[in-house]
Amino acid sequence: MTVHHFCTYFDHRYLPRGMVMLESLHAHCPQAHIHVLCLSEQCYAALGTLAYPYVSLLRLADLEAADPQLAATKNTRSLVEYYFTITPCLPWHLLTRDDAIKEITYLDADMMFFSSPEPIFEEAAGASVIITPHRFSKNLKDRECYGLYNVSWLTFTKTSDGLECLNWYRDACLAWCNDKLEKDRFADQKYLNIFPQRFHRVHIMECRGGGVAPWNLADVTIEWRRSGPHINGSKIIFYHAHGFKHIFGPIFSSGLYEYKTSISSKGIYLLLKKYAQALHITEKQKEDILKWKKDTVIRHNDKSSTYAIAFKILQEYRKKTLIFI
């Protein structure tokens, strides 16, 4: 059985989301081995306590020591821009330093797998790079200025073509990775526009079940079958829960509001509720492991905070973007 190597990064604040991704990927792809870059010592400690047998941990300090070019950018950009810079540096580090890794797939941490990712690898047989199209809904075509592709899933193989592309991507992000929209670049994302034209054997993910996200839910049909959720008849592989937030108690924001989309069907609601339920469980686990009570937006005797959260709930309720568990 082929072992698929994946990598991701997150800190203790993002730990519950990362746990949902790790556990769901393992459930649907037992042969996956996931390399996690821990962006905080609390995250490293928590994942050490969880001791997932299919996960290898890497401290941020160790990556910086091994990649001084990355470390040199730390004081020249904001924290989020530094994290964007890490996106190509992490798979580059793993692919070039570990002889056992012949292929590495970077994943965003805020995702949940609903079925095996094997169809993605099968359709891309012979490719050196795999990228994920945004597939923006018709009412969001103006968002293409931020990039035709999303960094949620990026695969690079240890081939001349794969390494050439990854090396170029890393160099580009080391030189410039600002959280600022320009004509030909935006953070770590818009560089992907160049991949299909500049490099050989770049595969654009065709599988409709991959890359399901808030920005492409408006024009589709989501339905649940015995085998799980389907989008336009295709089995959903992973959902990218960008913008998903736990507001308070049993109430979650789906993140659809930002993308002019609402929960327009039972299928969409059940898909998002599944993620909310999984996130709720991992948030409790985080509290138990770190002895850290989840920060809440409503603080004792804080009327302004109470009013703000009440307004947000009302606003999203009217827009049909809330999830209740």
User: Quick one: tokens of 186?
Assistant: 């935006």
What integer pLDDT is reported at residue 296 of this predicted model?
A: 45
Give this prediction's pTM: 0.94
CB-CB contact of 60 with 83 (8 Å): no
Q: Rounded CA gap, 67 and 302, in Å?
A: 45
What integer pLDDT is reported at residue 302 of this predicted model?
A: 58
Check pLDDT > 90 for residue 1.
Answer: no
What integer pLDDT is reported at residue 97 of this predicted model?
A: 96
Per-residue confidence at 52, pLDDT binned at 50, 70, 90?
A: very high
The arithmetic mean of pLDDT across residues 18-38, rounded, is 98
What integer pLDDT is reported at residue 303 of this predicted model?
A: 55
Measure Cα distances from 15 to 66, 211, 248, 314 in Å. 24, 21, 18, 28
Check pLDDT > 50 for residue 298.
Answer: no
What integer pLDDT is reported at residue 297 of this predicted model?
A: 43
- For helices 15-28 and 266-290, what crossing angle results, to 10°? 120
Q: What single string gives the DSSP state of each residue in 83-151?
A: HHHHHHHHHHHHHHH-TT-SEEEEE-SSEEE-S-SHHHHHHTTT-SEEEEE----GGGGGGGGG-SEEE
Greater model confidence, 313 or 61: 61
Q: Which residues contact 51 (CB under 8 A, 6 or more apart)?
A: none
The arithmetic mean of pLDDT across residues 7-13, rounded, is 98
What integer pLDDT is reported at residue 42 of this predicted model?
A: 96
pLDDT tens digit sequence for 135-187: 999 999 999 999 999 999 999 999 999 999 999 999 999 999 999 999 999 99
Q: Which of 90-94, 254-258, 269-273 has the lowest mean pLDDT?
A: 254-258
Tell me the pairing of strands 238-240 and 111-113.
Answer: antiparallel
pLDDT > 90 fraction of the chain, expressed in percent and rounded: 89
What integer pLDDT is reported at residue 208 of this predicted model?
A: 96
Average pLDDT over all residues of the chain? 94
Check pLDDT > 70 for residue 289.
Answer: yes
CB-CB contact of 222 with 251 (8 Å): no
What integer pLDDT is reported at residue 304 of this predicted model?
A: 59
What integer pLDDT is reported at residue 229 of this predicted model?
A: 98
What is the fold, at CATH topology level, of the domain defined by 4-204? Answer: Spore Coat Polysaccharide Biosynthesis Protein SpsA; Chain A (3.90.550)
Q: Which residues contact 153 (CB under 8 A, 6 or more apart)?
A: 105, 106, 107, 108, 120, 130, 131, 132, 205, 210, 211, 238
Check pLDDT > 80 for residue 134.
Answer: yes
pLDDT tens digit sequence for 235-256: 999 999 999 999 989 999 999 9
Q: Rounded CA gap, 196 and 54, in Å?
A: 32
Q: Which of 70-74, 255-259, 310-314 has the lowest mean pLDDT?
A: 310-314
pLDDT > 70 fraction of the chain, expressed in percent and rounded: 96
Which part of the chain has CATH 3.90.550.10? Answer: 4-204
pLDDT tens digit sequence for 175-203: 999 999 999 999 999 999 999 999 999 99
CB-CB contact of 233 with 108 (8 Å): no
Greater model confidence, 60 or 219: 60
Check pLDDT > 90 for residue 306.
Answer: no
pLDDT tens digit sequence for 104-128: 999 999 999 999 999 999 999 999 9
Per-residue confidence at 2, pLDDT binned at 50, 70, 90?
A: confident
